[in-house]
Structure formats: C-alpha cells, structure tokens
Amino acid sequence: MKVLILGGKGLLGGALAKAFLGHNVIVWDRAELDIADETSARKKIPELRPELIINCAAWNDVDGAEDHPDQAERLNGTAVGSLAAIARELGVTIIHYSTDYVFDGTNREGYDEDASPNPINAYGRSKALGERLLREAIDEFYLIRTSRLYGPRPESPAAKISFVLRIAELARLKREVSSVDEESGAFTYVKDLAEATRRLVRDSAPYGIYHLTSSGQATWYQCAKEIVSSLGLATVVRPVPRSAYPVRRVIPPYTLLRSTKVPHLRDWKIALRDFLTTNPI
Ligand SMILES: NC(=O)c1ccc[n+]([C@@H]2O[C@H](COP(=O)([O-])OP(=O)(O)OC[C@H]3O[C@@H](n4cnc5c(N)ncnc54)[C@H](OP(=O)(O)O)[C@@H]3O)[C@@H](O)[C@H]2O)c1
C-alpha cells in the first residue's frame, strides 16, 4: 500500500514511518508540501496517488496559537478540511490526529470518543475546527485524539522538543530541576501510538474517532520524577505550582481521554522506561 505521511519529519511522523515499514511509505514535510497551500495539495497529492493519507502536520505551538489564532486555524482547521476533501475525491482513507485540548478538562471522569468538544484555548479551538471539517468532508477517516507525545528527537530541526526529552536532557546537566505539579494528563510514547495506528489500518477497524494514549495519568512533576528515576540519576525534582511557569494559554486541568473502542496503550511508566533505556539521550 502506498502510504503518504504529511508532516512526516516531526515527532509522530518519524514513528509512523517506522511503524508502516513494509509498505511503500512516502514522507512529505513542509518542504515537499505546505498543507495550508490548497492549490499545491490539490495538484501534488493526486499526482502521487496515495492509497492512505496520514496527516501529522500541525500548528503545535500551543502558546503561539493565542497570538496567531488565524494561522493556527488555517493549519489545524481549514487545511485539514481540504486534505479530507482530497482524500474523499481520491477514494482513500485519511488518518488525522487531534488532542485532549479539544475538551475543557472540567470532567474528572474523563471524556469518551463521542463527548462534545468544548475547547478553552486557541490551539484547542483550531484542532476542534479541524475535527469538524474532517468529519464533514469524508466518512472514511480515523480521527485519533492523543496527548503529551514524546519520543526520539524529530528529524525536522524546527519540530517541538517534547517535555520528556527536555527534562531528560536537563536532568543530566543539573543537580536540580523543578516541574509543575498540576494538570494531569497521559504521557504517550509515539512508538506505541504509531503501532496502534497501524493496527487500526491492518484490522480494518471501523472508521471514526479513537482515543489512543498511554494508560494512567501524571502531572508534569510526577512525570519528571519518573524520568529521573528511570535514568538512574540523583537529580532532585522539585514540585512547583503553575504560577512558577506562567503560560499564555488556559490549560484544561483534567484531560483523561477514555477509550471505549480499543484497549489503552501500555502503562505510561513502562512505556517511559522503555523509551529512556532504549534511546540515546
Ligand atoms: N506533541 C504533542 O504532545 C501532541 C499532543 C496531542 C496531539 N498532537 C497532535 O499529533 C500530531 C503530530 O504532532 P507532532 O508532535 O508529531 O508534531 P511535530 O513534531 O511538531 O511535527 C509536525 C510536523 O509538521 C510539519 N509542518 C508544520 N507546518 C506544516 C505545513 N504547513 N505543511 C506541512 N508540514 C508542516 C512540521 O515541520 P516544521 O518542523 O518545519 O514546522 C513538523 O515536521 C499533530 O496533529 C498534533 O496536533 C500532538
């Protein structure tokens, strides 16, 4: 199968290229196709004739989205609708990723796949727009919501460095690091997410929305402590309130994505240890 991965040099794109090994994988990043350029997309994608389109390209600067909501909506919203329309015209499936930030995070019980989005920041609004336009444009989609991704350093030098990698690097250099002990979420290893994505395709799972995150939740501080312990370092990790690291966005406090269709990915601590002990940092 000819698989086109867009935004393919980012964190998740790199893991997907590995997970889909054995298929004819074509990796395009911004240099090959700016997904916000609909004219180019309408020309280049049909020329390639992919049999599956996976979109990982996104505006991922969550704070920056507050200052540039139009650009975030263009990339995370309008462009997704265009890609979905192209997939429909080609008669192929599209896979797209969204986020726990489409929810307001007030429900401590978590959110099922069919819960209604109610974003409270600009990034969340842009991703919720992408979800809506995708669903309006095509039926043959997998819309996968996930959270707090980490994995090896992405190939794209401009791609966002994950919290896990940042803390792992800092903890090697410093005697003490501090981290926010608020905002519980599921830290998710991109390798696990990419393999689960491939399973959906392999098993011809019903189209629709899926929640794919690690099992279990942690605050940033709890995750930082686990990173230091997994690396066998003596670095002291200090819990601090969010006010110690103010951010521009409003952050949903509890964003558990409940999965009612497929099993959750493995426990977050096991996945984290696997990543930290098998990847050079
Ligand atoms: N990272 C997380 O914690 C997280 C959490 C929940 C959901 N998600 C979702 O998961 C998906 C993958 O995220 P990720 O962390 O892998 O992102 P990433 O590492 O930032 O990768 C995104 C890739 O897309 C490229 N890109 C940006 N703008 C583009 C454009 N206009 N046209 C084509 N390519 C463009 C980027 O290139 P440049 O580097 O040159 O910009 C980068 O290579 C996204 O939909 C994201 O919203 C991520």
- What sign results for the dihedral spanned by CA atoms 220, 223, 228, 234? positive
Report the nearest atom of ligand 1 relative to the CA of 163: 3
Burial code (b: 16+ CB inside 10 Å, e: under 16) for 195-218 equals: bbbbebbeeeeeeebbbbbbbbbb
- Over its length of 281 residues, how does the chain's per-residue pLDDT go in tens digits? 999 999 999 999 999 999 999 999 999 999 999 999 999 999 999 999 999 999 999 999 999 999 999 999 999 999 999 999 999 999 999 999 999 999 999 998 999 999 999 999 999 999 999 999 999 999 999 999 999 999 999 988 887 789 999 999 999 999 999 999 999 999 999 999 999 999 999 999 999 999 999 999 999 999 999 999 999 999 999 999 999 988 888 889 888 999 999 999 999 999 999 999 999 78
- Give the per-residue pLDDT at 143: 98
- Give the per-residue pLDDT at 202: 97
- Give the per-residue pLDDT at 71: 98
The rounded Å distance from CA 102 to ligand 1 centre is 16
Q: Is 72 in the pocket of ligand 1 (CB under 6 A)?
A: no
The rounded Å distance from CA 236 to ligand 1 centre is 32
The rounded Å distance from CA 152 to ligand 1 centre is 14
- Give the per-residue pLDDT at 248: 81
- Give the per-residue pLDDT at 29: 96
- Give the per-residue pLDDT at 239: 98
- Give the per-residue pLDDT at 110: 94
| 26: Cα separation from own chain's centroid | 20
* Choices 3.40.50.1110, 3.40.50.2300, 3.90.25.10, 3.30.450.20: CATH for 151-184+216-256+266-278: 3.90.25.10
Residue having the nearest C-alpha atom to atom 40 of ligand 1: 158
- Give the per-residue pLDDT at 254: 87
Q: Please give the radius of gyration of the chain, using alpha carbons only, rounded to the nearest integer.
A: 18
- Give the per-residue pLDDT at 1: 97
- Give the per-residue pLDDT at 48: 98
123 is catalytic: yes
Write out the CATH class of domain 2-149+188-211. alpha beta
Domain map (residue ranges) of the chain: 2-149+188-211, 151-184+216-256+266-278
Q: Is 188 in the pocket of ligand 1 (CB under 6 A)?
A: no
Close Cβ partners of 43 (under 8 Å, ≥ 6 residues apart): none
